[in-house]
């Protein structure tokens, strides 16, 4: 990336769930962890990322001239000097609804915000008040959250939300929670936010497995994701007009995911196009983005174990069925993408950020 573009971003600051958690759950008393092999297999170590390698914020950070790994705030191996250039507050298993975090005893979103406040106090002591204010103001914020609210909470019938709300009302409730969160981080100094919509949650391998009698993706869940995304997008548009200086880029993960699932062989073509387009805007080194020309071979099961239901401790190094080459797969386990797909999502998100947040 050109030095002028990279200089616009002081840090990558991350909120959300397992799609972006770089290791905070390692420090939490929960069963939802991934700090053991074969997680991290292609990264060289199991860091707590729910992937065989890196996550989208890691690739985004590297492309912006920042470190290639965004450190987890609760990782004792890192300190405030590291966090000044990037920090992750996300927690696998959490959601916009506080009740979602309670299902697996993970960090609720309000606590992620509290950690952000604590981080700012530490940053002021480390860098001084003016420098800390600039880091916070000029950071790029990445938010990915919401899947667990439906699949771990509402549709799993464990919290009582299904009795309290219709699914449409629950969508409205979550969008209101998202608006409150965005207003909170805006008050704390955030100005440029990339907010991911829901993916095609009915096409996750675990949901396909549970839908075995009918086969294929769970269309009801995908429809919920589409409806929620429409409401989320409308909320984002309204919020930007009411909060001074706030810029929010909606990231259409649903469309990107479904396009890859329906056209898996085109991933290489998309990488090539993405690299050319991204380089046109930024001068980004092509090897950062364009790393493969091969498409995907499996978009229905995960690479780890059978790929049908395993995640966290069920995805372990003792299982002999784990695939030898994760690059052929969309999913690493039954819920999370491979590093190859995460790189694509990072590229797509960065292009949106360049148009809407960093121009």
Q: What is the DSSP string of 87-130?
A: EE---TT--SSHHHHHHTT---HHHHHHHHHHHHHHHHHHH-HH
Say which residue, 86 or 310, is predicted with more confidence.
Answer: 86
Residue 256 and residue 107: Cα distance in Å, rounded? 28
Kindly report, residue by residue over 123-175, the tens digit of the pLDDT. Answer: 999 999 999 999 999 999 999 999 999 999 999 989 999 999 999 999 999 99
d(Cα 324, Cα 177) in Å, to the nearest integer? 41
Q: How far apart, in whole angstroms, are the C-alpha atoms of residue 151 and residue 177? A: 17
> pLDDT value at position 205?
95
Order across the sheet with 86-88: list the strands: 86-88, 12-16, 140-144, 192-196, 247-251
pLDDT tens digits for 248-259?
999 999 999 999
pLDDT at 269: 52
At residue 214 the predicted structure's pLDDT band, cuts being 50, 70 and 90, is confident
Structural domain spans, the chain: 11-253+337-357
Q: What's the pLDDT tens digit per position in 265-307?
A: 877 655 544 444 444 344 443 334 444 447 899 999 999 999 8
CATH assignment of 11-253+337-357, given 2.60.40, 3.40.50, 1.10.287, 2.30.30?
A: 3.40.50
pLDDT tens across 110-136, in order? Answer: 999 999 999 999 999 999 999 999 999
Catalytic residues: 18, 333, 336
What does the pLDDT average to over 306-316?
A: 91
pLDDT tens, position by position, 19-74: 999 999 999 999 999 999 999 999 999 999 999 999 999 999 999 999 999 999 99
């Amino acid at each position: 990336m050109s030095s002028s573009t990279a200089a616009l971003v002081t840090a990558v600051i991350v909120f959300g769930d397992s799609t972006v958690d770089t290791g905070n759950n390692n420090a939490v008393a929960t069963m939802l962890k991934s700090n053991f092999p074969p997680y991290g297999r292609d990264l060289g170590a199991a860091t707590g990322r729910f992937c065989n390698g890196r996550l989208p914020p890691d690739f985004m950070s590297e492309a912006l001239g920042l470190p290639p790994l965004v450190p987890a705030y609760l990782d004792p191996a890192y300190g405030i000097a590291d966090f000044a250039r990037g920090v992750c507050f996300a927690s696998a298993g959490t959601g916009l609804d506080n009740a979602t975090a309670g299902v697996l005893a993970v960090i609720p979103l309000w606590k992620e915000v509290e950690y952000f406040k604590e981080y700012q106090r530490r940053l002021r002591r480390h860098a001084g008040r003016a420098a800390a204010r600039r880091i916070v103001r000029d950071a790029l914020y990445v938010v990915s959250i919401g899947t667990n609210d439906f699949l771990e909470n509402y549709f799993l019938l464990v919290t009582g939300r299904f009795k309290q709300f219709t699914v449409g009302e629950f969508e409205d409730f979550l969008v209101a929670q998202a608006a409150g969160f965005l207003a909170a981080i805006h008050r704390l100094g955030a100005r440029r936010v990339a907010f991911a919509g829901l993916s095609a949650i009915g096409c996750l391998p675990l949901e396909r497995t549970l839908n075995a009698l009918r086969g294929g993706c769970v269309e009801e869940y995908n429809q919920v994701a589409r409806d929620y995304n429409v409401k989320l997008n409308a909320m984002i548009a309204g919020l930007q007009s009411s909060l001074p200086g706030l810029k929010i880029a909606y990231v259409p993960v649903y469309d990107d995911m479904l396009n890859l699932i329906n056209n898996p062989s085109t991933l290489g073509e998309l990488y090539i196009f993405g690299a050319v387009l991204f380089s046109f805007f930024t001068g980004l080194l092509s090897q950062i983005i364009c790393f493969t020309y091969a498409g995907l071979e499996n978009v229905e099961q995960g690479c780890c174990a059978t790929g049908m239901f395993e995640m966290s401790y069920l995805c372990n190094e003792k299982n002999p069925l784990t695939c030898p080459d994760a690059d052929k797969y969309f999913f690493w386990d039954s819920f999370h993408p491979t590093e190859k797909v995460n790189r694509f999502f990072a590229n797509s998100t960065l292009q949106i950020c360049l148009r809407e947040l960093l121009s």
